[in-house]
Structure 1
Amino acid sequence: MTWAPVTMRWPEQATQWMGGLSAAKDLAGGELASTAQRLAGLEGLASTNPGPVGDAAKGAITAGRAALAEQLGQAPACLVVTPFQSGIGQGKGYQRFLSAPNLLEHLAKKLDDVSDTGRPAGPQYALSILFLGTRLEQLASSLSRFNALLPIPDLVRTERRAQHLVKLETEKWEIPGAGPLPRWQALPLERCTVVKAAKQSMAGQLTVLESYAADSSPLGDLAALATRKVAQQQGRDQQLADLKELLTGGNPDASMLARLIGPGNTSELRRELLAGDAPGHEWVLCAGLMLVGSKEGLSFVQELVGL
């Protein structure tokens, strides 16, 4: 064997199997034309009659949509305070700390920050959640449990940073090993421009013919549709049941504290937030979340955190 110059060309041998599709494609074209004629002939001769479920479900649908819009359609104002934010945490370098009382002070201060255009206005409620910890792994664990149900970008970033800092402390003395270069790796041909376009075109040809191969009678289609609807309804019911079961019988988590205050304007909410008993400075690594909105808009999250 000798080396040969590269000549880019269409792979005729590799794609010769596409020639077997021609007869089926021609037949499909003829069937489409005759189907259009038959459908035109049925105009005025056939009609459909919807079932009784639609009328019976209209009331429940209207009430359900209204409840969804009331509880989940309103976007409350959200504020997240973490020790890793600039000017918030104390300490130097990677080691940042924020005690629980200082966290509450920062949350309260932002309620009166007139320079923040996103500050809520008017009489509203405030739902505050504190994540308490004394170590990075404890804070990361608390945030991971909360983010699994209600992921908020700032809290997700805080969780990841805490996890990375824990990993850094445990692995900073390990020296990773590196094998000799170069290394074998997979090369998906779909990444190549010509191969990707060719695959899309050939897959489209096969898909068109597969749609004819899967053809069935109208009665069979209706029976399959009814079966799929039943399976879909059962799947949705099971999904909701699994979610309810996941949140059933939970134990109180001392590393997460929640409180609902209001109604009131931002000044009144600030005074109420700082009033009463609060965690002390023994919790040196904390993060906080505050949601401000209407009573109805906060009701779902309020029940989610057990208030």
Structure 2
Amino acid sequence: MTWSPVTMRWPAQATEWMGQLSAAQGLAGGELASTAKRLADLNGKTSTSPGPVGGAAGGAIAAGRAALADQMGEAPACLVVTPFQSGIGQGRGYQRFLSAPNLLQQMAGKLVDVSDTGRPDGPQFALCLMFLATRFDQLANSLARFNALLPMPDLVRTERRARHLSKLETEKWEIPAAGTLPRWQALPLERCTVVKAAQQSMAGQLAVLESYAADSSPMADLAALAGRKAAQQQGRDQQLADLKALLADGNPDSSMRARLIGPGNATELRQALLAGDAPGHEWVLCAGALLVGSEKGLSFVRELVGL
């Protein structure tokens, strides 16, 4: 066996199938011109008639939009406190901790922090959420259940960091198997300039022909559109039904605590937040969210958390 010199050339045998496209491409060009002429001839000869659904649904649409704006239009002020925020948690390095009483103190202090320009003012209600845990995996699981329904950016980041820290604690004792080098891997053809340009050109020609192969009559297109609209409506109804079923008959989650206080100004809300029995220092790894707004603005979240 001898080593042959490398000669870069176009793979003519591998792409000889492209010659079979020329007849179809010529037919496609003629069909395009014929279709344009037929559409021009139909101008002014056809008309459409809207169905009765639009007029009948007008009142329901207006009422639904008004109810949705009334329910969701007023966004409450939100404060999220996590142990990973700068100056909040205790500990060194990546290991940060925040007990439940200290969490309440942090949220109560932000209610009367006059240096924060975003602090809500005036008589309002406050909804306090606490996520209690003693380990990083517990905190991540608790936040994951809440973020699946009402994600908040700070809580999502806290969930990810707690998940990574829990994984680090588990995997740092594992010794990976490196294996022997070199290893088999796929040839990265997508990085080859010639292959990339050829693939784009051939894929473009195939896409043009596929558009003609998928051609159908206008009546068939309208029937397919009606079918898709019906399927979309059924899908939306099923999605809402699944969400209601998921939230129906839920079991109490001891790792999440919620409380509604108010009405009152910032000082009164702070006093009410610190009053009463609260989780103790045995919960060493906690996060919380404080929502402040009107009773109507908090109604959706309040009902979502079971208050």
State whether TM-score is above 0.5: yes
SS of the equivalent of 1:216 reads coil
Q: Out of 147-156 and 245-254, give the one that drifted further.
A: 147-156
Task: Tell me, in whole angstroms, the C-alpha distance in 2 between the residues paired with 1:124 and 1:46.
Answer: 60
Matched residue, 1:56: 56
2:133 equivalent to 1:133: yes
> Structure 1 pair 49/250, CA: closer, same or farther in 2 (3 Å)?
same
Matched residue, 2:217: 217
Matched residue, 2:97: 97
Matches within 5 A, 1:77-156: 77-156=77-156
Tell me the alpha carbon deviations over residues 171-203 of structure 1, each in whole angstroms, 9 at most, x when there is no partner: 333222211222222345335444334323322
Post-superposition offset of 1:37:
1.9
Matched residue, 1:20: 20
> Structure 1 pair 161/29, CA: closer, same or farther in 2 (3 Å)?
same
Matched residue, 1:177: 177
How many residues matched? 306
Tell me the alpha carbon deviations over residues 161-180 of structure 1, each in whole angstroms, 9 at most, x when there is no partner: 32333333333332222112
Task: Tell me, in whole angstroms, the C-alpha distance in 2 between the residues paired with 1:154 and 1:24.
Answer: 57
SS of the equivalent of 1:96 reads strand
Post-superposition offset of 1:103:
0.3
Matched residue, 1:190: 190
Task: Tell me, in whole angstroms, the C-alpha distance in 2 between the residues paired with 1:191 and 1:152.
Answer: 39
Matched residue, 1:281: 281
> Structure 1 pair 68/181, CA: closer, same or farther in 2 (3 Å)?
farther
SS of the equivalent of 1:18 reads helix
Q: Out of 129-138 and 240-249, give the one that drifted further.
A: 129-138
Matched residue, 1:66: 66
Q: Out of 79-88 and 264-273, give the one that drifted further.
A: 264-273
> Structure 1 pair 219/301, CA: closer, same or farther in 2 (3 Å)?
same
> Structure 1 pair 17/295, CA: closer, same or farther in 2 (3 Å)?
farther
Post-superposition offset of 1:105:
0.8
Post-superposition offset of 1:127:
2.1
Task: Tell me, in whole angstroms, the C-alpha distance in 2 between the residues paired with 1:124 and 1:3.
Answer: 83
Q: Out of 208-217 and 11-20, give the one that drifted further.
A: 11-20
Post-superposition offset of 1:250:
0.5
SS of the equivalent of 2:91 reads coil
Task: Tell me, in whole angstroms, the C-alpha distance in 2 between the residues paired with 1:122 and 1:181.
Answer: 68
Q: Out of 234-243 and 11-20, give the one that drifted further.
A: 11-20
Structure 1 unaligned blocks of 5 or more:
none
Percent identity (aligned): 79
Matched residue, 2:3: 2
> Structure 1 pair 116/190, CA: closer, same or farther in 2 (3 Å)?
farther
Q: Out of 176-185 and 200-209, give the one that drifted further.
A: 200-209
Q: Out of 176-185 and 15-24, give the one that drifted further.
A: 15-24
Task: Tell me, in whole angstroms, the C-alpha distance in 2 between the residues paired with 1:200 and 1:189.
Answer: 13
> Structure 1 pair 196/265, CA: closer, same or farther in 2 (3 Å)?
farther
Task: Tell me, in whole angstroms, the C-alpha distance in 1 between the residues paired with 2:274 and 2:193.
Answer: 61
RMSD: 2.4
Tell me the alpha carbon deviations over residues 175-234 of structure 1, each in whole angstroms, 9 at most, x when there is no partner: 222112222223453354443343233222222211211222222222222222221111
Q: Out of 159-168 and 176-185, give the one that drifted further.
A: 159-168
> Structure 1 pair 205/122, CA: closer, same or farther in 2 (3 Å)?
farther
> Structure 1 pair 244/23, CA: closer, same or farther in 2 (3 Å)?
same
Task: Tell me, in whole angstroms, the C-alpha distance in 1 between the residues paired with 2:59 and 2:192.
Answer: 54
Matches within 5 A, 1:35-46: 35-46=35-46
Does the 8 Å contact 1:128/1:290 carry over to 2?
Answer: yes
Structure 2 unaligned blocks of 5 or more:
none
Post-superposition offset of 1:257:
0.7
Task: Tell me, in whole angstroms, the C-alpha distance in 2 between the residues paired with 1:252 and 1:185.
Answer: 50
> Structure 1 pair 183/218, CA: closer, same or farther in 2 (3 Å)?
same
Task: Tell me, in whole angstroms, the C-alpha distance in 2 between the residues paired with 1:68 and 1:194.
Answer: 54
Does the 8 Å contact 1:71/1:298 carry over to 2?
Answer: no
Post-superposition offset of 1:24:
1.7
> Structure 1 pair 54/204, CA: closer, same or farther in 2 (3 Å)?
farther
Post-superposition offset of 1:10:
4.4
Matched residue, 2:261: 261
Task: Tell me, in whole angstroms, the C-alpha distance in 2 between the residues paired with 1:201 and 1:121.
Answer: 62
Matched residue, 2:292: 292
Using structure 2 for the length normalisation, give the TM-score: 0.88
> Structure 1 pair 206/297, CA: closer, same or farther in 2 (3 Å)?
farther
2:254 equivalent to 1:240: no
